Amino acid sequence: MASMVEEGEAASARQMKYLDMLEAAISRMADNQFKLRGWSVALGSAIIGFAAKDNNARVALLAVLPVVSFWVLDAYYLMLERRFRAKYEAAPKNGVDPPNFDMTPSAKDGHSLGEGLSRQAVWLMHLPVLVLALAVGIWGWIH
């Protein structure tokens, strides 16, 4: 009888460890997104500011590449975060079934990069900087 109790406690401990690992991965993805958003706004604004300071608005077009790159990376980390969340939701939590410790995010849950790119939380962060860079750059090009 004591052996069955110990096995149940061991299975429960393994499940908790697996859930902790998934939570840590989810936290890393969210932290990466937060940092990318900060870098996108800072770098885009710095390039646009440099263009305005030197009275060379065409330089603002240089901000397009990093902003688009950060936008895609932000969407990528959002996609991974959502896949890890789906894996967390599907993980056994009953204290009996052993976890498989699979940490590979699966594409079969339906979360895609395109979905991440179109999420309001993502494009609202990057689109204003992109529009400003294009507006300032195009204005400098035609004047």
Task: Give the contacts of 126 (CB within 8 A, at least 6 positions apart).
Answer: 37, 40, 67, 68, 70, 71, 74
CA distances from residue 6 to 2, 9, 19, 96, 123 in whole angstroms, order as listed: 6, 5, 20, 11, 50
pTM over 0.75: yes
pLDDT tens per residue across span 57-72:
888 889 999 999 999 9
Q: By mean pLDDT, which of 51-55, 95-99, 113-117, 137-141 is the weakest?
A: 95-99
**How far is Cα 18 from Cα 10, in angstroms, rounded to an integer?**
12
pLDDT tens per residue across span 59-112:
888 999 999 999 999 999 999 999 999 999 988 877 677 788 888 887 777 789
